[in-house]
Chain A
């Protein structure tokens, strides 16, 4: 296969977006688990909550930029050796990951607004109060945020497992296309 029809690797911008969001999502998710595990009320807990919200908003912004970029930029095609079911599974997982990159931060954002705690991005400027504090909605949004996160964790697990399989078992060069410092594998 020649490289003329479709690129062999993701563009540097796509790779940058991928790893930046990956790092932020894993970090924000972990921080979310850690902070909600701290009992009572401590300065550290409140600090973590603020950081978690700033990171979540950053994920949302990055997701928006990334989606715009993705819609305008061709992505490398899968090799002919890849079975159709894997195409479907990959597309499905990627679509869900994109959906959750918006859904998870948005559910968290509305959850904190319902709780009456606005987000002040990096402690500098307050983000829009899209809804009024709502005590009835608060537990609902909390559950939504939690379960979307569990869905995100499941999708990330699938995504990483598939990448590992392509890297170690199939050795078809698919994973390398998204690695920051590797040469594309020739077919």
Chain B
């Protein structure tokens, strides 16, 4: 079952994160997507399946850690036929690379109450260092982590062959995420 697998995954990571317990992720209120520009037309796509593990204590933000795993085949760009296309070799190659992941390497308090996050982003077997500001909103026991990660799709080989033409499909892609969590 998905839930038990998720829990097993979380319990595996707990020892890595020391004493602080990872937050309980509210999948229904969380989302991971990408905004890309096709001939200057902004289009939003969503990854329907992902798991997030966030270890965060507002009293000790510098010891926070985060990991997000994404099922690349769950990308929805709004049309079933196109969704099948982007799973192919020249796009995400979901057969060979079913998972994309983000693992934080450092989280530091930054200006305006945000956190400066650096980490390793792996898509299609290629890993790149990324840095982005993370906002944390708290409402009661619920915490909302939001951010945008600007990437260059060609660094990860997303869109090979004729699709390397950036006048058709811009190299700049923004990964947009929101992870809702409550303490466990």
**Residues of A bordering B, CB below 8 Å:** 40-43, 46-47, 50, 115-120, 123-124, 126, 133, 135
**Nearest chain B CB to A128 CB, angstrom units:** 14
Closest 8 pairs (CB-CB, A-B):
A41-B85, A123-B40, A43-B168, A50-B39, A120-B40, A120-B41, A116-B78, A123-B39
| Chain B residues, CB < 8 A from A42 | 162
What are 29 pairs between A and B in contact, CB < 8 Å? A40-B85, A41-B81, A41-B85, A42-B162, A43-B162, A43-B163, A43-B165, A43-B168, A43-B169, A46-B38, A46-B39, A46-B168, A47-B168, A50-B39, A50-B41, A115-B78, A115-B79, A116-B43, A116-B44, A116-B78, A117-B43, A117-B78, A118-B41, A118-B42, A123-B39, A123-B40, A123-B41, A126-B41, A135-B78
B41 contacts A117, C-beta separation under 8 Å: yes
- Which residue of chain A is the closest to B163 with respect to CB atoms? A43
Select which of A47, A115, A116, A135 is within 8 A of B39 by beta carbon: A47
A120 contacts B39, C-beta separation under 8 Å: yes
**Nearest chain A CB to B173 CB, angstrom units:** 16
* Interface: B9 (CB within 8 A): no
Q: Inter-chain contact count A-B, CB under 8 Å? A: 41
Contact-residue size bin, chain B (C-beta under 8 Å from the other chain):
10 to 19
| Chain A residues, CB < 8 A from B38 | 46
| Chain B residues, CB < 8 A from A115 | 78-79
| Chain A residues, CB < 8 A from B43 | 116-117
Mask of B82-106 contacts with A, CB within 8 angstroms, 1/0: 1001100000000000000000000
A40 contacts B78, C-beta separation under 8 Å: no
A70 to B60, CA, bound (A): 72
Q: 20 additional contacts, CB 8 Å, given A116-B78, A123-B41?
A: A40-B81, A41-B81, A41-B85, A42-B162, A43-B162, A43-B163, A43-B168, A46-B39, A47-B39, A47-B168, A50-B39, A115-B78, A116-B43, A118-B41, A118-B42, A119-B41, A120-B39, A123-B39, A123-B40, A133-B78
A112 to B45, CA, bound (A): 15
A50 to B41, CA, bound (A): 9
| Chain B residues, CB < 8 A from A41 | 81-82, 85-86
